[in-house]
Structure 1
Amino acid sequence: MDEKIISNNIKKLRTRKKLTLQALAKRTGLTKGYLSKIERSEKAPPYSTLTKIAGALEVEVTTILSKNIKPPTDVRLCLSRGKNRKIIKETSRFSGYDYEILAENKPGKNMEPFIIHAPWEIRKMYSHEGEEFMYVMEGTLEFLYGEETYVLEKGDNVYFDSCVPHSGKSLGDKKSRLLVVIYFYKRNRQ
């Protein structure tokens, strides 16, 4: 995925909501200058920053990652076909992880589901508001949570408070494939 799309989407969503950079900064707790750099693609935000921005814009992270932002609609059911699933390949913004977006067209989600292909090495720890659920679909995952390390095999799952720094990497000769659902119980809305 072209990283410029993410930056353009943030700016497009901000202007659609008629928010200034200063107003978005107040909602996210980030500085106006940092947000400006993100919109100009000068600063690559980590996933935790994208969740803050998405919360402040009252959209899901997958909306920011979409190639085509559609106007919000009232969708009570969202059916996504596997053959049409989008995969966002590893970029500097998503260190080491490939993402398969699930339920992309469902507006107003309280949960963010996706499939992750875990990297072979841990490049950074993540921490963000909410709770997270991970289910190992394939492979073996070394999961770091705070100061603890766990080895998860196919069929194992973990549910955790995602404000604690966490990350994971694939073990063995096959990349781990994980079903992940993030629940945001507190949005940065004002």
Structure 2
Amino acid sequence: MDEARIVRNIRVVRRAKGITLEELAKLTGLTKGYLSKIERSGKAPPFSTLNRIAMALGVDVTFLLMEEAEDLEEDVKLVLVRKDQRKVVTTKGSLYGYQYEALAHAKPGKNMEPYIITPAFEETAVFQHEGEEFLYVLEGTHEFIYGDQRYIMEEGDCVYFDSEVPHTGRSLGPKRAKLLAVMYSYKRK
């Protein structure tokens, strides 16, 4: 999945819902100019910004990560995603070198977004967004930074936190860590 596809999906959903850039700016708290730059640049914004845009558009962030936009109104009670059906997003730019594997991308209208995340080794931008998160270290060592506190997490460790507090993390050691991350956003409209 490339960043240009993510940006295309933002534009497609925005236009399909009849939302102008100015209206989206008011809904997200971002400037119209910044949103326009995202749509023109073909570069996906940071994940926390992508999540704000998705919430303002009334869709799951994984919807924006899909190869092709699917039906927004479909009522799906259960989604089974096989390991070869995950949607993988790997970027070296705006998503800060993280690799995201969307685990429930086909379930519309959900409040939780489960991912497998492989963080970069470098300390990245700080994230801050509405909701709650759960991280579980599947492999490797992960340095988790929450507010002013730093935590070293090893395989099997987990943390649950309010994601409105600034947070970030990075892989430590000889290989990149692998995390199960579940992001919860308050009920979508």
Aligned mates of 2:34, 2:172 — CA distance in 1: 36
Give the 4+ runs in structure 1 shifted more than 2 A: none
Q: Which SS does the other structure have where 2:155 is aligned?
A: coil
Where does structure 2 lack aligned partners over 5 or more consecutive residues? none
Number of the residue aligned with 1:71: 71
Aligned mates of 2:127, 2:102 — CA distance in 1: 19
In the alignment, does 2:49 pair up with 1:49? yes
Aligned length: 188
Amino acid in structure 2 at the alignment position of 1:95: Y
Where does structure 1 lack aligned partners over 5 or more consecutive residues? none
Amino acid in structure 2 at the alignment position of 1:16: A
Number of the residue aligned with 1:7: 7
Number of the residue aligned with 2:171: 170
Q: Which SS does the other structure have where 1:128 is aligned?
A: coil
Number of the residue aligned with 1:140: 141
Number of the residue aligned with 2:93: 92
Give deviations 1:19-45, integer Å, cap 9, x for gaps: 111111111111212111111126652
Normalised TM-score (structure 1): 0.93
Contact residue 129 and residue 186 of structure 1 kept, 8 A:
no
Structure 1 stretch 97-106 or stretch 121-130: which is displaced more?
A: 121-130
Q: CA 1:105–1:186 in structure 2 vs 1: closer, same or farther (change >3 Å)? A: closer
Identity %: 56
Shift of 1:104: 0.5
Shift of 1:90: 2.3
Contact residue 119 and residue 169 of structure 1 kept, 8 A:
yes
In the alignment, does 2:32 pair up with 1:32? yes
Contact residue 9 and residue 69 of structure 1 kept, 8 A:
yes
Contact residue 34 and residue 43 of structure 1 kept, 8 A:
no
Superposition map of 1:98-177 within 5 A: 98-177=99-178
Shift of 1:2: 2.1
Aligned mates of 2:2, 2:54 — CA distance in 1: 18
Shift of 1:155: 0.6
Normalised TM-score (structure 2): 0.94
